[in-house]
Amino acid sequence: MAHSALVGTADSRTPRLGRPVGASHPVTSVGGVVLLLPDGEVASARRASGRAHLALLPLARRLVGAGRADGLVAHVVRYRGRGWNGTDARLASDASWAVAEAVRRYGDVPVCLAGHGMGARAALRAAGHEAVDAVLALAPWLPEEDVAAEPEPVRQLVGRRVLIVHGTNDARTDPELSYRLAERAKKSNRDTCRFEVHSDGHALRQYHAEVRALATDFVLGSLFSRPYVRPLADALAAPPPLGLRMPLAAGFGRSLRP
């Protein structure tokens, strides 16, 4: 499909936040916002995937339930379309729009960008907005490294707390690419860590309970200054490669948090 066709179709749509996840009435007191960014495709003019949107709802509900006392609000962002589409980086643009919209709605509150797959790449890219305090990247889709191409940027991550989680059996995006990005990010941002989920794939289904427990601890600790559980605190403090190849233990979270 021609590049102009991809752009034209997506331009006729607008990104949306929609209602907060799990809110049965208007939100009045907000202490922080987490914006969840669904997976996408490398190039596509199709509408955003409903399946990818639904896949993030369990994590969104888990976060809202755990952060209700702190006034945490969660939105699963609806993109204009599902394609990254080369240098247009459409999903990253939609993520940036979502941060600005969250600030417009809720004011000066801390924001966490949390994405999966191509959405994780969008979260990492859009982290430069001044309202963003933290980035959670689950199985980030990253392009194959090419000596002739610009490397994936990391300067926008400075000053943010960054957690990358990747399954070692991910067949869609090479886990080593997220390790290399984390390694570059760690040089200028010490608050970067990465966990490896051994034998899990791109969807992180096998250890979904452990991944959600880790994600919840990271988001609440980053937005509301709650103390991190020991494995997460150790990963953030450890130098490479230890803090970037931290194994996510089976049963994580069961004995660490109620």
Residue 85's Cβ-count burial label (10 Å; 0-12, 13-18, 19+) is: buried
Cβ contact 106:139 at 8 Å = no
Cβ contact 40:94 at 8 Å = no
CA distance linking residue 126 with residue 39, whole number of Å: 15
Model confidence, pTM: 0.93
Residue with tokens 């066709």: 5
Q: What is the structure's pLDDT at 24?
A: 66
Task: List the domains of the chain with CATH numbers.
Answer: 14-19+29-247 (3.40.50.1820)
Cβ contact 115:36 at 8 Å = yes
Cβ contact 32:71 at 8 Å = yes
Residue 83's SS3 state is strand
Q: What is the structure's pLDDT at 59?
A: 98
Mean pLDDT by 10 residues, the chain (258 residues): 49 85 78 97 92 97 95 97 93 97 96 98 97 98 78 96 98 96 97 97 96 98 96 96 96 68
Q: What is the structure's pLDDT at 89?
A: 94
CA distance linking residue 67 with residue 219, whole number of Å: 9
Q: How far is CA 86 from CA 99, 122, 180, 216, 229, in A?
A: 22, 12, 21, 32, 38
Cβ contact 201:171 at 8 Å = yes
Q: Which residues contact 3 (CB under 8 A, 6 or more apart)?
A: 85, 86
Q: What is the structure's pLDDT at 258?
A: 41
Q: Which residues contact 258 (CB under 8 A, 6 or more apart)?
A: none
Cβ contact 115:139 at 8 Å = no
* DSSP symbols for 134-203: EEEEES---PPP-TTSPPPP-GGGTTSEEEEEEETT-SSS-HHHHHHHHHHHHHH-SSEEEEEETT--TT
Q: What is the structure's pLDDT at 80?
A: 95
Name the H helices within 12-149: 50-55, 57-67, 90-106, 118-125
CA distance linking residue 114 with residue 181, whole number of Å: 17
